Structure 1
Amino acid sequence: MSLGEHLVEFRKRMFRALLGVAIGAVVGWLISDQILLALSAPVSAITSSQGRAASLNFTDVSQAFDLRLQIAITVGIVLASPIWLYQMWAFLVPGLTRREKQYAVGFVLTAVPLFLAGCAAGWYVLPHMVSILTGFAPQDTTNIISAGTYYSFVLKLVVAIGIAFVLPVLLVLLNFAGILSSKSILKSWRIAILVIVLFCAIATPSADVFSMFLLAIPMVVLFYTAALISWIHDRRKARAQEKFDAELVVP
């Protein structure tokens, strides 16, 4: 494909992905009240756990609307994840064969549950994070938290962990596309584990070491699973190449 054809293909894939996100955002707008209620639960729990008043506050006229819009877009991205993940695969590996289309479906069916599992893990540690970080406030004070700032904090924590859970699938995607070999993945295991531990330590900056390991262990397992799948794929690819080369040899 020429550069112009690549740009046309990119525009087509991007339009389909954005259309899916827009449809999901409509659903997110309709359920934004329930999401706001769930988001405020860790803040409301501060009153019972710390004995201090705590509340989410909207600091300007448009912040309530902006917050609902952010929630709608976030929900749209999550709900449309099967669509934009497939479009990403189809753009990176154009002209899919029948087997590659099966790989694409498998990629989407694997990446989406992992992303949701990562978001669920982030949501699990969220109340602990809120409780510990707000606990540094002096006694006899009130936690008045900006709703916009709080939502940005939740979004960075939950979605970042969700994306981290999908990264091993991205490694498999790069391997299947011929960009990254299984040897390269395995050689970087020390760096990968160090990055995972640092990421989990930053995502859970608290004395709760259990939460850090709760995030780190499945991420390490996913990394090695990605390496194993890539190794199996490389072996099958090498065998197929050897068979093809043998058939070319003239007897």
Structure 2
Amino acid sequence: MSTPARASRSRTRRRRRKDNPDGTMTLVEHLMELRHRVIVSLIALALGTIVGFIWYQHGFSLSVRGYELTVKSLGDILRGPYCSLPPDKRASFTADGECRLLATSPFEMLILRIKVGAVAGCIFSCPVWLYQLWAFITPGLHKKERRFTLIFVSIAVLLFLLGAVLSYVILSVGLEFLLSMGDQYQSAALTGETYFYYVIILLLVFGVSFELPLIIGALNIMGILPYSAVKNKRRIIIVCLAVLAAVVTPGQEPTSMIALTACLSLLTEISFQFCRINDKRRGEERPEWMDLDDEESSPLNESPSPISQPQAVARPGSISSPKSTGKNYGSSSGTDFSDVL
């Protein structure tokens, strides 16, 4: 496509958004907008994957105000929990006892490097594709709700990174527990594919699970999940979180399950307190009649006002009853009908 055509399409897109400040679009315009968001997200993912593929085997150094900062390669960082185990719990494949993982096929190392680079690229590019996702949704929201875009993306990235860091910290403890079962008879000789699969799945599980409080807060802001709907269900929610942690953690070892359950329970409680404060700020209180059974009648808070007796109103042109004017209308003589007619 030529440069003038691209410029014309860009001007058309800007003109359409300017003419439609409320975000109304046709189906074709929605599809074009979706295609634009997907292309930008894929480009960011591809660039992040390239960075992760190079970083997998090569570290780098940074100089910040005279201080030299050395960053290890991504492969050394990921295999750190395995290499931190005691030497008697892992097999050695080198003469000098260096910590190495095992490869059992010719293309395993290449495929593994591509997979790790893709996961790293997904993490690196998450601010971009999260923003693109939110920007695709926001045309249907109010102007006041669009201001939460930067806050939403920042909190989502921060929570994901916190979950990934926590999983990396407890990874060595979980590995030591798993590899110590029957270590009197065998030594662990993990392949790179098996080990990195366990590490990557654990990082993703913790990172995605830490987005739960953000989802709860977003539902409360949209008015879908009020605090009154969850305030008395904490025990059930904690049990559900424990079941979720037991299902999603790889290896089903107790250290990861307990850590994930405790963190999710804490983050969920923080999100519930946010819901309580937000509902109190908006003054949204649950009516008493919503807590009643289906067959129970709601109480009447106010007594009915007494109905006053209706008064007769004279119609125009009709003869009204004579008022008490002190005159005698009953006598036949000298009767004056001027007051009546």
TM-score scaled by structure 2? 0.60
Does 2:94 match 1:43?
Answer: no
| CA deviations over 1:53-101 (Å, ceiling 9, x no partner) | 4741122111111111111111111111112222222334434544323
**CA RMSD, Structure 1 to Structure 2 (Å):** 2.8
Contact 1:93-1:177 at 8 Å conserved across structures? no
CA displacement at 1:178 relative to structure 2: 4.4
Counterpart AA for 1:21 = L
What is the 5 A alignment of 1:25-44? Answer: 25-33=49-57, 34-44=73-83
Structure 1 window deviating more from structure 2 (58-67 vs 36-45): it is 36-45
CA displacement at 1:213 relative to structure 2: 4.8
CA displacement at 1:238 relative to structure 2: 5.8
Q: Decide whether aligned partners of structure 1 residues 48 and 21 sit closer, same or farther in structure 2, where only a CA change above 3 A counts.
A: same
Q: Decide whether aligned partners of structure 1 residues 18 and 186 sit closer, same or farther in structure 2, where only a CA change above 3 A counts.
A: farther
Name which of 196, 218, 223 aligns with 2:263: 218
CA displacement at 1:199 relative to structure 2: 3.9
Contact 1:53-1:142 at 8 Å conserved across structures? no
Q: Which has the higher helix share?
A: 1
Higher relative CO (CA 8 A, sep ≥ 6), structure 1 or 2?
1
Q: Name the structure 1 match of 2:189.
A: 144
CA displacement at 1:225 relative to structure 2: 2.2
Distance 1:91 1:182 in 2: 28
Q: Decide whether aligned partners of structure 1 residues 201 and 81 sit closer, same or farther in structure 2, where only a CA change above 3 A counts.
A: same
Q: Which 5+ residue runs of structure 2 have no aligned equivalent?
A: 1-24, 58-72, 94-99, 285-341
What is the 5 A alignment of 1:70-89? Answer: 70-89=115-134
Counterpart AA for 1:23 = L
Q: Decide whether aligned partners of structure 1 residues 63 and 165 sit closer, same or farther in structure 2, where only a CA change above 3 A counts.
A: same
Name which of 102, 105, 108 aligns with 2:153: 108
Distance 1:150 1:108 in 2: 31
Q: Decide whether aligned partners of structure 1 residues 17 and 184 sit closer, same or farther in structure 2, where only a CA change above 3 A counts.
A: farther
* Paired residue total: 237
What is the 5 A alignment of 1:47-62? Answer: 47-48=86-87, 50=89, 53=92, 55-62=100-107
What is the 5 A alignment of 1:195-210? Answer: 195-201=240-246, 203=249, 205-206=252-253, 208=255
Q: Decide whether aligned partners of structure 1 residues 60 and 50 sit closer, same or farther in structure 2, where only a CA change above 3 A counts.
A: closer
Structure 1 window deviating more from structure 2 (148-157 vs 32-41): it is 32-41
Aligned identity (percent) is 28
- Choose 1 or 2 for highest CA Rg: 2
Q: Secondary structure at the match of 2:84?
A: helix
Q: Which 5+ residue runs of structure 1 have no aligned equivalent?
A: 240-251
Contact 1:53-1:143 at 8 Å conserved across structures? no
Distance 1:15 1:148 in 2: 30
| CA deviations over 1:128-168 (Å, ceiling 9, x no partner) | 12111122244253322121121111111111011111111
Q: Decide whether aligned partners of structure 1 residues 16 and 230 sit closer, same or farther in structure 2, where only a CA change above 3 A counts.
A: farther
Contact 1:118-1:161 at 8 Å conserved across structures? yes
| CA deviations over 1:175-205 (Å, ceiling 9, x no partner) | 3344444434445533321132234456384
Distance 1:212 1:175 in 2: 28
Q: Decide whether aligned partners of structure 1 residues 206 and 85 sit closer, same or farther in structure 2, where only a CA change above 3 A counts.
A: same
Contact 1:200-1:215 at 8 Å conserved across structures? yes
Q: Decide whether aligned partners of structure 1 residues 24 and 123 sit closer, same or farther in structure 2, where only a CA change above 3 A counts.
A: same
Q: Decide whether aligned partners of structure 1 residues 103 and 182 sit closer, same or farther in structure 2, where only a CA change above 3 A counts.
A: farther
Distance 2:165 2:159 in 1: 10
Counterpart AA for 1:25 = T
Structure 1 window deviating more from structure 2 (97-106 vs 175-184): it is 175-184
